[in-house]
Amino acid sequence: MKKLFVKDYHQLSLTAFDLFLQEFQDNPAGTFGFATGSTPIGFYQRILEDHALYQTDYSNIKTFNLDEYVGLDEHQPQSYHHFMRHQLFNPLGIGREQVHIPKGNAEDLQKECTRYESLLSSNPIDLQILGIGENGHIGFNEPGTTFESGVHITTLKESTRQANSRFFDSIHEVPTQAITMGIQNILHAKKILVLVSGSSKAPILKEIFHHPVTTKIPASALHHHPDTTFIIDEKAAVSLS
C-alpha cells in the first residue's frame, strides 16, 4: 500500500482531487465508488470548484456508493442518498440514471443486496474512495466481517452509532443496521484511495500498518489489494514511524 503524507485536511482534499482528476481524465466514462462521512467533504468541494471553473463534464461516469442506513428513506436528510445528492451529484449535474446507492428502505433487503451485488459485478469500479472508521471499518464492514463478504446487511457497532450520532438529533435516531458493499466488493475495485484525517484516526492507522492483517481490523484487508493509496494528514500520521 502506498502512503502519501500531507500537511493538513486542505492538502488531503487537494491531493485526493488531483488523483481523482487524473483517473477521470484517463477514463471520462469510468465507474467511481464514493463514500460518505465527513472526510471526503473537502475533496467533494474541490470537485465542485473545478466543475464551476471549467465545466468538467461528468455526464458519462457511473457512480456507486458504499452503503446506506437501513430504514431511512432516500429523502431523509441523514440518508446517504441525500448526502450524495447535495454534496456532489446535483451540483455536478449527475443524473439519477448514473447513480447507484443501496436502498436502505427496500421492502426485501436480501433482494436488495442481491440486486446491488449483481450491479457491482457487471460494473467493475475503476476508482473507489474510502474513509476509515475509528474501529477500522471500511464501508460499514465492522470488525469481524469476513474478507470474502459481498453486499450484506450489517449491524452497526455502538461505537459507530455513537460516532455518527453527530448527524442525527440523538443517538436513538441512528439506525442500528446498514446495507453495505462487502470487503470483497471493495477489494475488486481497480484502484482504491483512502482518505485519513485527524487525530481520532491515528490509533487505528497505526494498527493497520503495524499489525498483521486481521478481520478484527477490516481496513487491514487493503494489504491484499494491488493498488491502494492512503492519503494521510499530519494529525492522523502521529503514531506512524
Cell output for 114: 442481491
* Interactions with ligand F6R, residue window 67-96 (CB under 6 A): 67
Q: Does 31 bind ligand F6R (CB under 6 A)?
A: no
Q: Which stretch binds ligand F6R (CB under 6 A): 46-54, 86-94, 129-137, 219-227?
A: 129-137
Q: What is the DSSP letter of 65?
A: E
Residue among 133, 136, 182, 218 that touches ligand F6R (CB under 6 A)? 133
Q: Does 131 bind ligand F6R (CB under 6 A)?
A: yes
Q: At what angle do helices 9-26 and 41-54 cross, to 10 degrees?
A: 50
Give yes or no for a contact between 7 and 100, defined as CB atoms under 8 angstroms apart. Answer: no
Residue among 30, 102, 139, 218 that touches ligand F6R (CB under 6 A)? 139
Residue of 68, 137, 152, 164 with catalytic role: 137
State whether residue 97 is helix, strand or coil: helix
74 as an active site residue: the answer is: no
Hey, which bits of the chain come out as E strands?
A: 2-6, 31-34, 62-65, 67-69, 99-100, 127-130, 152-155, 177-180, 191-196, 228-233
Burial class (CB in 10 A: 0-12, 13-18, 19+), 111: exposed
Q: Which stretch binds ligand F6R (CB under 6 A): 5-13, 19-27, 35-43, 147-155?
A: 35-43
Q: Which is nearer to ligand F6R, 56 or 235 (CB)?
A: 235
211 as an active site residue: the answer is: no
Q: What is the DSSP letter of 134?
A: T
90 as an active site residue: the answer is: no
Q: Which stretch binds ligand F6R (CB under 6 A): 19-27, 133-141, 184-192, 216-224?
A: 133-141
- Residues serving a catalytic function are 67, 135, 137, 142
Residues that bind ligand F6R (CB under 6 A): 35-39, 66-67, 131-133, 137-140
